[in-house]
Structures are given as structure tokens and as C-alpha cells.
Amino acid sequence: MSTEEKKQEAMELVSKAYQHHMRGEVDRAIELYSRSLEVLPTPEAFTYRGWARSFQKDFQAAIADCHRAIDLDPEYGNPYNDIGAYYLELGQLDDTIPWLHMALKAKRYESYCYPHYNLGRVYEALDRLDLALEHYRSAVRENPGYALAVKAVERIKDKLTLHAASR
């Protein structure tokens, strides 16, 4: 099988895995992502398998998959954001920030709203509301339809208003 045929087969398996993933069939999705990786390792398959593993709360395996994705393509932004998000879920805020900044610098990434949103979450948890608002607003600029970010902007503005009124 040629490299191009392997790539096509691998990506078809990723697509099938994603469909199962979105239906909540996480075990089947992981199986198909893994089969894709057997055909041809791709950063997408490692990243998505890591994401599926995060649904099982296996954050260490998810982080390991993301590192393998980065090894294959350091310009692919998704795994950087995902590592940051997993550290955020683990409550390791200091570990989260550098990964999200790397996601923002990645050249091959279509969803910069996510690392901005996640940085907003980190800074909100650290009570750095000015930075949280800045990143939530950036998330909305990147994707005006991102409802979680829109709500976060309003929530932080309300907090800042209350904060100013209590002084």
C-alpha cells in the first residue's frame, strides 16, 4: 500500500472514530483511533485518541497522546490546547498556561478561540479577572458564536462591576 493510500485509510478510520466519539461510544472510538495509528501515525489520530481518553478521565494517557502528536507535527495546535485543558481539569493551573500560549503560537490551528477561552478559565480561577476578561474577549473575537465565551465575558464584567462597587 502506498503512503497516500495509508494516509487515506488512516484518515477514514479517524473519521469513523470521531463519529463514534460524538455518539458517546468512547471505547469504540479509541479502538478506531488506535487502528488508524497502526495504519499510519498522524497527529490528528493521536490528538483525538487523547481527547477520547480524557472522556474516561485518563488524563495522563491523553497528555501522552498529545505529546506524540506534537512529536509528529510541532505546528499542529490542537494538542497544545488539549494538554493545557487536561492540566486545567487536573487543577494544575501553572502547568496549563505555557501549553495554551504554545497553542496560540501554532501555525496549523483553526480554533484559536479555545486556548483563549481556556486561558480565561485559568486566570478567572487565579482571580486575575483583567486577564480572564482579555482572553474571553479574544475567544469571542475569534468565534463570535462561541456561547461559553460570550457568557464568560458577561460573567467577568459583572464580577468586575461588583468588585468596583465594593471598594
Residues 6+ apart with CB under 8 A from 69: 43, 44, 46, 47, 50, 76, 78, 79
- For 125-151, the pLDDT digits (tens) are 999 999 999 999 999 999 999 999 999
Query: Would you say residue 46 has pLDDT above 80?
Result: yes
Residues 6+ apart with CB under 8 A from 165: none
Which residue bears the cell 486575575? 128
Q: How confident is the model at residue 52 (pLDDT cuts 50, 70, 90)?
A: very high
Query: Would you say residue 167 has pLDDT above 80?
Result: no
pTM score of the predicted model? 0.92
- For 73-97, the pLDDT digits (tens) are 999 999 999 999 999 999 999 999 9
C-beta neighbour count of 35 within 10 angstroms: 16
Alpha-carbon torsion angle 104, 107, 111, 117, nearest 10? 0
| Mean pLDDT for all residues in the chain | 96
Mean pLDDT of 156-161: 93
Q: Residue 56 and residue 51: Cα distance in Å, rounded?
A: 9
**CB-side neighbour CA atoms (13 Å) of 154:** 6
Rg, C-alpha atoms of the chain: 18
